[in-house]
Amino acid sequence: MKFVLRNHFLLSLTGSSWLEWAGLRCHDFRCSRNQSERFAFIAEWYDPNASLLRRYELLFYPTDGSVEMHDVKNRRTFLKRTKYEDLRLEDLFIGNKVNVFSRQLVLIDYGDQYTARQLGSRKEKTLALIKPDAVSKAGEIIEMINKSGFTITKLRMMTLTRKEAADFHVDHHSRPFYNELIQFITSGPVIAMEILRDDAICEWKRLLGPANSGLSRTDAPGSIRALFGTDGVRNAAHGPDTFASAAREMELFFPSSGGCGPANTAKFTNCTCCIIKPHAISEGMLGKILIAIRDACFGMSAIQMFNLDRANVEEFYEVYKGVVSEYNDMVTELCSGPCVAIEIQQSNPTKTFREFCGPADPEIARHLRPETLRAIFGKTKVQNAVHCTDLPEDGLLEVQYFFKILDN
């Protein structure tokens, strides 16, 4: 789909040079916060027609939620300041993908020192690991993470080999409970997440509570370990203590060197596929939807966050092309931000899980099947919270697409 903004284009700057325009921008940033404060980012978009990376300056005005874009190479205003409700301040951080009028942009740098100081000085990433004893409570823990102001930027259910567990617990090698730690962490699946916020390492440790769950129930009764842990080993979740350990542990679970990390947990038998859509993720519904699926007695044998490009989505949705009138909008939605794919397990899973999701149109679902996922969490026929496999024979194929093809 071509990126069309209709009346929002301004083809060139008139009556001022690029330097004059840049100077005005710097002047504007010295204005007080009660005036039109704005944040600037450098963003890239891959143009499939020209096979080029195009670079833009993206300006965001938090006072009214408006955006403005400038073509860096051609030194032209590409999009005049326009109100855009689908972009939020919390979406703006380096490395994130944002969708602006159907164009998926990757934020690669701050556009000025003001934005870097205001938004980047304390922003951190850390590892949040849900241990085997609390995987069944993943929905509740993710809900607590979202409510505490964290953004989940990566998520993957996986199983650890003994060697991977030893690498993870290398700092505890001399402790008397080391073997118990290794046995426990390899006893079942874990869910690893990369989470982001100001002072993420410290704030995640605060949300976790003391390592001993009994002590947590006394000293931090609302913490994750107090609510879901048992003792000092089976204590629900883990978080690193320092920048160095956070970097080391995230590299183990989400390697940047091209490796895959620990294996995912997909079983590829008696399965169907569920995808929690980007709008539901950005609106903080992930935890609630996972709770609803679990409470309906569906097994979730694999869970993973994906950032899909348009080509992947068009390939995945190919069966709907020319059949469903909302096809183009469906593609745009699914590549507009991170989604979460789930392998659903149950005997005769496709039929029953599809029924649990409800009609594709949430309004119809609310009238006919008010207890279904789309009735509760959906907004429109395109932003209807979840995708589910339509045909029984496609369940395995869709699960394989995410957990074999895209994961590798």
Check for a shared fold between 6-120 and 271-406: no
**Whole-angstrom distance, CA of residue 154 vs CA of residue 254:** 8
For the domain spanning 123-264, the CATH number is 3.30.70.141
Strands 103-110 and 52-61 come out as unpaired
CA 107 to chain centroid: 15
pLDDT of residue 10: 34
Q: Would the pLDDT of 346 be above 90?
A: no
Q: How sure is the predictor about 408, in pLDDT bands with cuts at 50, 70 and 90?
A: confident
Answer for the pair 386, 370: CB distance below 8 angstroms, yes or no: no
Q: Which residue has the higher pLDDT, 89 or 158?
A: 158
**Which amino acid, one-letter code, is at 2?**
K
pLDDT of residue 7: 36
Going by C-alpha positions, the residue among 90, 91, 52, 88 that lies closest to residue 72 is 52
| Residues 265-274, mean pLDDT to the nearest whole number | 95
Q: Which residue has the higher pLDDT, 190 or 87?
A: 190
Q: Which residue has the higher pLDDT, 269 or 13?
A: 269
Catalytic status, residue 279 = no
**Whole-angstrom distance, CA of residue 113 vs CA of residue 119:** 10
- Mean residue pLDDT across the chain: 88
List the single range of 60-74, 79-93, 353-367 with lowest mean pLDDT: 79-93
**Whole-angstrom distance, CA of residue 209 vs CA of residue 17:** 56
Going by C-alpha positions, the residue among 259, 124, 274 that lies closest to residue 203 is 124
pLDDT of residue 243: 87
Output the six-digit token pair for 332. 């745009």
**Whole-angstrom distance, CA of residue 232 vs CA of residue 225:** 9
pLDDT of residue 349: 63
Q: Which residue has the higher pLDDT, 342 or 198?
A: 342
Q: Would the pLDDT of 17 be above 70?
A: no
| Residues 80-107, mean pLDDT to the nearest whole number | 86
Q: Which of 238, 279, 367, 387 is catalytic?
A: 238
| Residues 185-214, mean pLDDT to the nearest whole number | 95
Q: Is 299 helix (H, G, I), strand (E, B) or coil?
A: strand
| Backbone dihedral region for residue 148 (phi beyond 0: left; psi -120 to 50: alpha; all else: beta) | alpha
pLDDT of residue 350: 63
Q: Would the pLDDT of 379 be above 90?
A: yes
pLDDT of residue 23: 41
Burial (0-12, 13-18, 19+ Cβ within 10 Å), 258: exposed
| Backbone dihedral region for residue 9 (phi beyond 0: left; psi -120 to 50: alpha; all else: beta) | beta
**Whole-angstrom distance, CA of residue 370 vs CA of residue 363:** 9
Each residue's pLDDT tens digit, 160-187: 999 999 999 888 777 778 899 999 999 9
Secondary structure element (H or E) that encloses residue 44, with its range: strand 39-47
pLDDT of residue 20: 39
pLDDT of residue 3: 36
Query: Which runs of consecutive H residues, i.e. helices, occur in 72-189?
Result: 113-115, 138-147, 162-168, 178-185
pLDDT of residue 266: 97
271-406: CATH class: alpha beta
**Whole-angstrom distance, CA of residue 371 vs CA of residue 158:** 31
pLDDT of residue 32: 43
- Domain residue limits, the chain: 6-120, 123-264, 271-406
| Residues 284-305, mean pLDDT to the nearest whole number | 97
**Whole-angstrom distance, CA of residue 69 vs CA of residue 91:** 16
Each residue's pLDDT tens digit, 213-256: 999 999 999 999 999 999 988 999 999 999 889 989 999 999 97
Question: Is the sign of the CA dihedral 288, 291, 293, 299 positive or negative?
Answer: positive
| Residues 67-95, mean pLDDT to the nearest whole number | 90
Phi, psi at residue 177, to the nearest 5°?
-95, 15
CB atoms within 10 A of CB 14: 7
Answer for the pair 324, 330: CB distance below 8 angstroms, yes or no: yes
CA 74 to chain centroid: 32
Q: Is 188 helix (H, G, I), strand (E, B) or coil?
A: coil
Give the architecture-level CATH label for domain 6-120.
Roll (2.30)
